[in-house]
Amino acid sequence: MNNKIKFKGRLGVFFNWPIIIALVLAMLNVGVYVYDIKSGVFVSIFIVIYAVSTAIVYAINTQYIAREVVGFATQYSTVQKKLLNEFEIPYVLLDSAGKVMWLNEKFGEITGVDKKYHKSITSLFPTITKEFLQKNIKATEVEASFGEKEYRVAIHRVTFESMMEEKNNFDVDAENEYMIALYFFDETELNEYKLANIEQKQVAALVYIDNYDEALESIEDVKRSLLTALIDRKVSQYFSNVDGLVRKIEKDKYFVVFKYKYLHQLEEDKFSILEDVKTVKVGNEMAVTLSIGVGLKGDSYNDNYAYARSAIDLALGRGGDQAVVKVKGLIHYYGGKTEQVERNTRVKARVKALALREIMEGRDNVVIMGHSISDVDSIGAGIGIYCAAKVLGKKAQIVVNDPTSSVKPLIDCFTEENGYPEDMFIDSETAIDMTSRNTLVMVVDTNKPSYTECPELLRKTDYICVFDHHRQGSEVIENPVLSYIEPYASSACEMVAEVLQYFQEGFKLEAREADCIYAGILIDTNNFMTKTGVRTFEAAAYLRRSGAEVTRVRKMIRNDMAAYKARAEAVRSAEVYRNAFAISVCPAEDLQSPTIVGAQAANELLNVIGIKASFVLTEYNGKIFVSARSIDEINVQIIMERLGGGGHLNVAGAQLVDCTIDSAKRIIKDTLEEMLREGDIE
């Protein structure tokens, strides 16, 4: 074998020096012959003797030198192998298919296998698959676990070609193959410390009593302190179970601090304090409800508190009786299954009316917009705000893109012949031109920027006001100068009617203006059958006193024959799912307002005995619009939130994109099944 070995690289150059010197001397000897022939002959003899003796010595010693080199390499390799075998870090060598070729003692200790083990590494560590190892990478890392230990695995691919380049002393053939070396670093303890550090972080929470004043007013004076004490006790006991610190900061507000590790426990029981506190009864007719806002994972404690404030505002904006957990950009909701408690006091409406007037007085003009595909409630509320701006002498315009047949009768009431400007209703392009930094952009009947007729308007002004009766979600209009969101209200028109009563002394609506606002209430309450409270009828009474005529309104909101047939077809073809849920499709052909017809069909389906909730799907403008309705047993709002929508307990909706009618039906059924399993609906 040694005779076949050829020295290469630096070692080869070193052993070939005598031959190189002989060749150099032979070349120099040519010059000596030219100078003196005798001297040249003498040098030639010397060169021959040198070359022969060098060749003899080289031939005799080559095999001994090779033997010594190989012996040294073998001893060196043995030392390396011994060191690697006793290496404190678990190490394993795999072939290109991921099978174990060699392992050191430490790897055998942690896995319980011996050096005869030649199976795939995946059998020991399922996360290290053959496909993962065969990726075209030189080095990477992966997390793996074995038993109770967790490891960070460093993966290195070593090709035979690269080894030959590093040890280029022998001429040995090498195919383009590779081996994979894995180093296992035990990070179990480090991960435990990391987890402990996270779990010990403080979480800030705010707990508000939603209906404190209303609950106290419903009981005798002597029992009020008892009710307050029982609520305090419930809240303190609930959070003390998770080692929380509770401090009462106002008569109906608490500040709570607890460790992050207990948050999962609270989320698992879905903040049971929300239901538990409703059991407090000392003669009060009204059940007490709470709102909870939790903030965590901020960069500082102040950030966590800011998240908690934002979360509690969101919980209150959604009607209360729920917990909202805010983790930076992520928001999770718990509770919110019951109807919101109506406030009989109008103090808030009066305050908002005065604030709106003050804001309007300082603006150049007013641009009003509702949600896209405007409905009667959106247009009616916009007309009410237009009337408020007109009283102050401000230029006001309502943004309506492609008005549908359902709202055209309202728009047709406001013509130049009736004393209204030609540009009272404008499209988005005109609105953008009319909007400056000092324009008041008034958003009604929605609080989601993406749902508005022209979202770009929200970026062109410094003054935005929001009037809406829908629950807030994670997407909200940022930094409004005035926000009036009341989920207990039946409609945006009801809210506007209340505000107009306090807007200015002697304020009076024209009959056609009152008709349009009244129509909005009528449509959203399904002829005063849904979400109607004392204040709903008071707002309707105010509009009647202002000249609203029920007969005119009824004529204004009638459907054409095509819409009536489509609604009837949706009711006829409804599928009853689980003997409680009606699911149907509203045909959109030849309809100018298919989404409104779909909503009407959903209301009709509730008249069927045994139907607890109805879902009507309408395909329109490349989207699937879902109208969800219920009477009292099912909260359709939390169902629609699962689909990215929202609304109220009894009236809600969602929009689905990139899906067919059949897949939309399947999504609704799967969502219902999931929520039934989780107990969110019954």
341: in domain: no
- Residue 430: the pLDDT is 94
* Per-residue 3-state assignment (H helix, E strand, C coil) for 491-558: CHHHHHHHHHHHHCCCCCCCHHHHHHHHHHHHHHCCCCCCCCCHHHHHHHHHHHHCCCCHHHHHHHCC
In a domain, 127, yes or no: yes
Instruction: Verify that 421 and 546 share a domain, yes or no.
Output: yes
Q: Does residue 452 lie within any of the structural domains?
A: yes
- Provide the token pair at 67: 């033997």
Single out the residue in 85, 119, 146 at which a domain terminates.
Answer: 85
Tokens of 641: 């939130």
Q: Average pLDDT for residues 643-668, to the nearest whole number?
A: 88
How many domains are there within the chain? Answer: 5
CA distance 105 to 390: 88
Do 324 and 470 share a structural domain?
Answer: no
Beta-carbon neighbour count of residue 40 at 10 Å? 16
Instruction: Reduce the DSSP state of residue 189 to 3 states and report it.
Output: helix
| Contact by Cβ (8 Å): 208, 316 | yes
- Whether residues 550 and 584 share a domain: the answer is no
Which of 27-36, 66-75, 148-157, 653-662 has maximum average pLDDT? Answer: 653-662
- How many Cα atoms are found within 13 Å in the side-chain-facing hemisphere of 136? 0
CATH number of the domain to which 548 belongs: 3.90.1640.10
- Domain boundary among the residues 530, 556, 582 is at 556
Reading across the β-sheet that carries 440-444, which strands appear in turn? 425-426, 395-399, 365-369, 440-444, 463-468, 482-485
What's the rounded mean pLDDT across residues 415-440? Answer: 93
d(Cα 181, Cα 159) in Å, to the nearest integer? 11
- H/E run at residue 670: helix 661-678
Query: How does residue 211 score in pLDDT terms, banded at 50, 70 and 90?
Result: confident
Do 552 and 599 share a domain, yes or no? no
Percent of the chain with pLDDT over 90: 40
* Average pLDDT score, the chain: 85
Residue 172: pLDDT band (50, 70, 90) is very low
Instruction: Name the pLDDT band for 319 (thresholds 50, 70, 90).
Output: confident
Residue 182 lies in a domain: yes
Q: Residue 70: what pLDDT?
A: 61
pLDDT in the model for residue 612: 93
Q: Are residues 601 and 665 in the same domain?
A: yes
Sequence-separated (6 or more) residues with CB below 8 Å from residue 675: 638, 639, 642, 681
Choosing from 195, 220, 250, the residue where a domain stops is 195
Identify whether the C-beta of residue 624 lies closer than 8 Å to the C-beta of residue 595. Answer: no
Give the highest mean pLDDT range of 23-32, 291-300, 609-618: 609-618
How many Å is the maximal CA-CA distance in the chain? 143
pLDDT confidence band for 162 (50 / 70 / 90): low
Query: What's phi and psi for 309, nearest 5 deg?
Result: -60, -45
Domain-embedded: residue 637: yes
Same domain flag for 352 and 484:
yes
Q: Do residue 603 and residue 541 come from a single domain? A: no
pLDDT digits (tens, 9 = 90+) for 342-380: 555 567 888 899 999 999 999 999 999 999 888 899 999
Say whether both 33 and 150 belong to one domain. Answer: no
Q: Is the pLDDT of residue 159 over 80?
A: no
Q: Does 508 lie in the same domain as 392?
A: yes
- Its domain, for residue 598, covers 561-678
pLDDT value at residue 12: 66
Q: What percent of the chain has pLDDT over 70?
A: 90
Is residue 205 domain-resident?
no
Within this chain, do residues 619 and 509 fall inside the same structural domain, yes or no?
A: no
Report the predicted TM-score, pTM, of the whole model to 2 decimal places. 0.61
Enumerate the H helices of 272-336 as residue ranges. 273-276, 301-317
Q: Give residue 136's pLDDT.
A: 54
Confidence at residue 580, expressed as pLDDT on a 0 to 100 scale: 92
> Does residue 204 form part of some domain?
no
State whether 479 and 611 are in the same domain: no
Residues forming a β-bridge with 294? 205, 325
Do 7 and 122 fall within a single domain?
A: no
